[in-house]
Amino acid sequence: MLEGRQKNDIETANEEVVHTERSFIELTKQQWMVGQQLPLQCHTLPENWQTLLAPVSDERLSISVLALASQHDAMLFNLEPPACSEVYPLLPQLSKPTLPSTLRGLFRRVMQHANQHDGLGCEKVIALLSQRGVTAHPADWLPNGREDNLPDEYLPWVSWSFYESTSSLHDELTEDNWDEWYPAARLQLLKNMRSFHPDKARDLIAARYLGEPADKRLKIIKVLSINLNERDVPFLSQLLEDRSQKTARQARQFLSRLNHYNPAEAVDEEAVELLSFLDVSVSGVIKKRIEIRPKSLKSKKQQAIRSELIEKVTLSQLAAAMDCSLDTLVESWMFDAFRLHDNASFLVSCTHELSGQAFQYLLKNLTAYHKKASSDDGFIEIISTRLSLEQRESFVQTSLLNHSGKLGFYNSACKLHMPLRDFTFQALKKTRAWKELVSGLKTDLTENGYVQAYYVEKEIAALGMLLPNNTAQEALEALITLGVLRADPVTEYLKLNIALPE
Amino acid sequence: MDISLDVIQELAPDQASLNAAKKLIKPGKWPLLGKALSVNSIWGQCQGSGANPYYTMADVVDHGYKCTCPSRKFPCKHVLALMWQYSESEGDFGETEPPEWVNDWLGRRRKVNANSVDDSQPQKVKPALQKNIHTSQSDEIQTLSTEQQEKAEAAKLKRAATTKAKTDAAISLGLLEFQQWIADQLRTGVAGFIKQASDKCRRIAARLVDAKAGALASSVDELPALILDLTPQEQTDLVFKMFGQWVLLTEAWLANPDDLDARRAINMAEAREDILNNPNTVREKSVWMNVGEKIFTRRDGLVSHTTWLINSSAPKVSFAMLQDYYPASAGKREIGLGLGAAIEGEVLFYPSRFPIRGVIAEHKILTQSISPDWQPAEESLSTNFQRYMQALPWGDHMPFLLGAGRILRDSAQRYWWRGKDETTLLLKNHDIPKLLLGSELTWAFIVWNGLQAEIYSAHSEHWGVMAC
């Protein structure tokens, strides 16, 4: 008891001494800040210091006090963080395992190349990892919120990456905190929500979309294209009355995609005008088939008007004007007769408007067109959001194997979300793209000694993001046999592909 | 893919390089030797005169090469020694995937047009000097008799003692002037000093260089750069802290110029050979892991390269700091061990009351990773710092391993450490990866200066060791 009291007395006395010394230091520092004209006197120092500094001459007293003060600060300096310090939410763990540490260096080099060069972009590399059942280490890569096409398993990281995009900490986007998110972050979160909870996302959009300006409203409404379903019909019908023409048109397209449109209501002057620019004929003797072709027009101005109308008129309106079903319309469109730009506009409408069944009719038509030597491959990208993985792969393979096709490896990889799962080296060697690559490579190696040509570099890198594991291995060996250095950085995409077993 | 001795002889810039290279052909000098014949490359880490090893690599076909040493001879003795070893005992080179620093070099080399001149390719110019690899000698020829040698040695010692006495006298005078300069800053106002810190520090640093107090001069010259990014209050705190430390340091010298810690901080650190030959050197043999590296260019043009190692096998956490300086003109050299890399070997500490700085003696790089599940120190940061200050009152970089905690950020975008044990520290780092902010950290390696902590690396259960 007595010991405890003595201890308390000593602590109190020490605190008083420290307090006196701190006060003296603060005061002296204030004087030093502005300049101390009068020298310090020993008797003005705290008691303990007087004994310590008694032998020091007056001229040296100030620097001795400075030395003691610095020791004092070093031992007693203590800062409290401001109350508003934020605790960042923890980065969630993903459902797939992290890339093995032995491959992290290779992954970082590939990502660096993908970032620096106008290449395939980081998302393809991430998709390759996903296909092989692993995810990136967050110290090597984290989403920045600008990615459009990340594999689903990264969604927890996407939400996490938007943490700073709010004015305060929120776990998820809600009606109440809608205004506290930046528009880009809000849109991405809406897309995520729509992927997993379509009804919740639609209800949230319905509650808050009216407060947004027309351009942002349209972007928000477009989110409904993800998991579009029957339960969206009442809300979409309500959107037909929207004050923005573009939003109303988008709603009409969605309704059409869900087989909810009123042809009688859809007939309008522009659709009739478009029809007047088209040549609708019937071919076949036993099995009759309608064929829609562009009419020969007298001027470029008329052509431009037709192009504008194809872009503007919805398929439902055109079908209504033709008095046929949507299935018939898309089945009868003669792609090889129209200009590329008009085909692209038509396909954009198809992507937005067609129901599942009508879309299958379109695919049938496109598949037949794609087999023709003169076909263009640009359509794959336009309709890619409506294609299954298999359908996309099938179109790309057909394009590659089409001897007159111009699709190179880079463009093929761009059209795919992740590498092909079935494409042999024998098939690869037969492609026009491989032959062109080999020819370009030989010229490059002869002229430069190394791979330097931009085209060759881009094509070799793309192979790594295009081929299945075994074919990548064979392709790499073939390239090395042709003279590419095994250490050449362009081979690293292939090496990463090979190092990740399927 | 052999390299013949004739090729090495041809590549060598002179006979001296060959002689020097031969001295390096000892297994202990090369903790790492590797090859990847698929990419025609060999590489090695050579323990040179610096604290950090040199990274040396070569192409066995076209004989291109690169070394991170600051030598102005091309190729340097390290490259020649690497090729020589490969020529004579290829089996010592383990076949592995090239490490990242070799890959970087290979990636850059390929950009060179075969028709243009490649600096890293051997020049096909006949050297004017006569060289012979077979007559290269690893030891100097003894031409003096024993008596002559003793005399020469005594004369050398006498010269050294005279030089030291002159240097010490010059430094003491310089330090008294420096103390007066500090007193003048207090008299005329520290606020004014902060405004003109760059000019004022540069001028007094030049005076200190004249007085042969080179190490202290560099420290003074760096102060303006340190205060540049701080808030006014932090600038004041730091200036008073540094002034106080410098007074303590100069007092230590004036009391005893042979105090090794003070001498190192004022004049210069001992050479690597002095540490190796000093019987009082503290040696610690263990497995060490790299927990932090920092490479930056100082205002005086020297590049400072610091590597922090943690002793993985000691029961109590302990550290070693490898410190090198080299001229920025020697080229960009940002190759290091790599965070998390482990080495097995002996660290020789500079004699000190608080031994931290060291050099690596014989060692080898471990290929397998080690588990960084260290227990943080039982004693608190302040207790450790108290001990550190008792030993080195002017010290301002005490390494410490913090226990579990999180990193916070305040509205002024400053970072804070908040330990589970309620330790709160202001962090010196200006930019911390988001991953670290979003992780529960099991430990964090910091360097504490009494006011702020600089966090170098941290570990989380999920994500392993992460750099800051």
The answer to whether the CB of B76 falls within 8 A of the CB of B17 is yes
Query: What's residue B117's pLDDT?
Result: 40
Whether residues B258 and B289 fall in one domain? no
- The mean pLDDT value for A206-213 works out to 92
The answer to whether the CB of B20 falls within 8 A of the CB of B77 is yes
Mutation to test the A interface, candidates B120, B437, B441, most A Cβ within 10 Å = B437
Please list every residue in chain B whose beta carbon sits closer than 8 Å to the beta carbon of residue A491.
none
Whether residues A140 and A182 fall in one domain? no
Tell which of A329, A350, A385 closes a domain. A385
Whether residues B99 and B80 fall in one domain? yes
Tell which of A257, A277, A309 closes a domain. A257
What are the backbone dihedrals phi and psi of residue B124, each rounded to the nearest 5 degrees, phi first? -90, 45
Rounded-to-integer distance, Cα A346 and Cα A326, Å? 13
Write the burial class of residue B304 (CB in 10 Å: 0-12 exposed, 13-18 middle, 19+ buried). middle
Whether residues A242 and A275 fall in one domain? no
**Structural domain harbouring B361:** 275-366
Q: Of the segments A2-6, A161-165, A390-394, B129-133, which one has the largest average pLDDT value? A: A390-394
Rounded-to-integer distance, Cα A430 and Cα A240, Å? 51
Mean pLDDT across chain A: 86
Q: Is residue B138 in some structural domain? A: no
Domain total of chain B: 4
Query: What's residue B333's pLDDT?
Result: 58
Q: Which of A207-216, A357-366, A434-443, B152-161 is the least confident region? A: B152-161
Residue in B115, B189, B389 nearest the CB of A34:
B189
- Does any CB of chain A come closer than 8 Å to the CB of residue B397? no
Q: Closest Cα of chain A to B316: distance in Å? A: 23
Whether residues A430 and A392 fall in one domain? yes
Beta-bridge mates of residue A281: A291
Q: Is residue B74 in some structural domain? A: yes
- Does any CB of chain A come closer than 8 Å to the CB of residue B463? yes
Query: What's residue B242's pLDDT?
Result: 94
**Residue B466 half-sphere exposure, CB side, CA atoms within 13 Å?**
26
Rounded-to-integer distance, Cα A317 and Cα A295, Å? 19
Q: Categorize the per-residue pLDDT at A1 as very low, low, confident or very high, splitting at 50, 70 and 90.
A: very low
Question: How many interface pairs between A and B have CB atoms less than 8 angstroms apart?
Answer: 176
Contacts 24+ apart (CB under 8 A), B359-364: B359/B51, B359/B272, B359/B275, B359/B276, B359/B322, B360/B31, B360/B47, B360/B51, B360/B53, B360/B322, B361/B28, B361/B47, B361/B276, B361/B283, B362/B28, B362/B31, B362/B47, B363/B31, B363/B47, B364/B31, B364/B32
Q: Categorize the per-residue pLDDT at A368 as very low, low, confident or very high, splitting at 50, 70 and 90.
A: confident
- The mean pLDDT value for A397-421 works out to 84
Residue in A63, A160, A161 nearest the CB of B182:
A63
Q: Is residue B130 in some structural domain? A: no
Please list every residue in chain A whose beta carbon sits closer than 8 Å to the beta carbon of residue B426.
79, 81
End-to-end CA distance of chain A: 74
Q: Which of A77-91, A284-298, A448-462 is the least confident region? A: A77-91
Whether residues A396 and A379 fall in one domain? no
Q: Is residue A319 in some structural domain? A: yes
Structural tokens at position A99: 């890339």
Q: Is residue B241 in some structural domain? A: yes
Query: What's residue A267's pLDDT?
Result: 62
Query: What's residue B219's pLDDT?
Result: 93
Tell which of B241, B266, B291 closes a domain. B266
Whether residues B286 and B352 fall in one domain? yes
Residue A500 predicted with pLDDT over 90: yes
Residue in B41, B189, B251 nearest the CB of A487:
B41
Q: Is residue B9 in some structural domain? A: yes
Q: Is residue A285 in some structural domain? A: yes
CATH number at B294 reads 2.40.50
- Does any CB of chain A come closer than 8 Å to the CB of residue B235? no
The answer to whether the CB of B326 falls within 8 A of the CB of B70 is yes
ipTM: 0.76
- Neighbour tally for B419: CB within 10 Å: 18
Q: Is residue A82 in some structural domain? A: no
Whether residues A483 and A429 fall in one domain? yes
Mutation to test the A interface, candidates B186, B237, B425, B434, most A Cβ within 10 Å = B186
Query: What's residue B99's pLDDT?
Result: 83
Domain total of chain A: 4
Whether residues A128 and A69 fall in one domain? no
Q: Is residue B343 in some structural domain? A: yes
Where helices occur in B190-287 by DSSP H, the ranges are 190-195, 197-210, 214-227, 232-255, 260-266, 272-277
Q: Is residue A410 in some structural domain? A: yes
Tell which of A207, A239, A257 closes a domain. A257
Residue A3 predicted with pLDDT over 60: no
Query: What's residue A11's pLDDT?
Result: 65
**Structural domain harbouring A7:** 2-75
More confident residue, A268 or A482: A482
- Does any CB of chain A come closer than 8 Å to the CB of residue B237? yes
Rounded-to-integer distance, Cα A457 and Cα A451, Å? 7
The separation between CA B266 and the C-alpha centre of its own chain, rounded to angstroms, equals: 18
Q: Categorize the per-residue pLDDT at A226 as very low, low, confident or very high, splitting at 50, 70 and 90.
A: confident
Whether residues B349 and B408 fall in one domain? no
Whether residues B284 and B256 fall in one domain? no
Q: Is residue A99 in some structural domain? A: no
Rounded-to-integer distance, Cα B409 and Cα B354, Å? 33
Q: Is residue B119 in some structural domain? A: no
- The mean pLDDT value for A205-215 works out to 92
Q: Write the pLDDT tens digit of every residue in A96-112.
A: 999 998 899 899 989 98
Whether residues A247 and A292 fall in one domain? no
Q: Is residue A357 in some structural domain? A: yes
- Does any CB of chain A come closer than 8 Å to the CB of residue B16? no
Residue A286 predicted with pLDDT over 80: no
- The mean pLDDT value for A255-280 works out to 80
Whether residues A402 and A448 fall in one domain? yes
Beta-bridge mates of residue B406: B418
The CA–CA distances, whole Å, from A295 to A27, A248, A271, A425, B208 equal 94, 30, 15, 45, 91
Is B240's CB within 8 Å of A69's CB?
Answer: yes
Residue in B107, B190, B243 nearest the CB of A489:
B107
Please list every residue in chain A whose beta carbon sits closer than 8 Å to the beta carbon of residue B406.
87-88
- The mean pLDDT value for A313-339 works out to 89
Q: Categorize the per-residue pLDDT at A88 as very low, low, confident or very high, splitting at 50, 70 and 90.
A: confident
Write the burial class of residue A89 (CB in 10 Å: 0-12 exposed, 13-18 middle, 19+ buried). middle
Please list every residue in chain B whose beta carbon sits closer than 8 Å to the beta carbon of residue A87.
406, 408
Q: Is residue A152 in some structural domain? A: no
Residue in A35, A90, A486 nearest the CB of B38:
A486
Q: Write the pLDDT tens digit of every residue in A120-174.
A: 788 899 999 999 999 999 999 998 877 777 888 888 888 788 776 565 555 678 8
Is B411's CB within 8 Å of A74's CB?
Answer: no
Mutation to test the A interface, candidates B59, B110, B250, most A Cβ within 10 Å = B110
Query: Percent of chain A at pLDDT above 70?
Result: 91
Rounded-to-integer distance, Cα A122 and Cα A115, Å? 7
Q: Is residue B152 in some structural domain? A: no
Whether residues B221 and B171 fall in one domain? yes
From first to last of its 468 residues, chain B has per-residue pLDDT tens of: 678 888 888 888 888 888 889 888 887 788 888 888 877 889 998 887 777 788 899 988 888 888 888 788 889 999 999 999 998 888 888 888 888 888 878 877 755 444 444 445 444 444 455 677 777 655 544 567 788 888 888 888 888 888 889 999 999 999 999 999 999 999 999 999 999 999 999 999 999 999 999 999 999 999 999 888 788 888 999 999 999 999 999 999 999 999 999 999 999 888 888 888 888 889 999 999 999 999 888 887 888 889 999 998 887 889 999 998 887 776 555 567 788 888 888 999 999 999 999 998 878 888 777 778 787 777 889 889 989 999 999 998 999 999 999 999 888 888 999 999 888 899 999 899 999 999 999 999 999 988 889 999 999 999 999 998
Whether residues A369 and A308 fall in one domain? yes
Q: Is residue A86 in some structural domain? A: no
Chain B nearest-CA residue for A167: B411
Query: What's residue B68's pLDDT?
Result: 84
Is B393's CB within 8 Å of A71's CB?
Answer: yes
Residue in B188, B438, B466 nearest the CB of A160:
B438
Q: What is the pTM of this model?
A: 0.78
- The mean pLDDT value for A435-461 works out to 89
Please list every residue in chain A whose beta carbon sits closer than 8 Å to the beta carbon of residue B439.
90-91
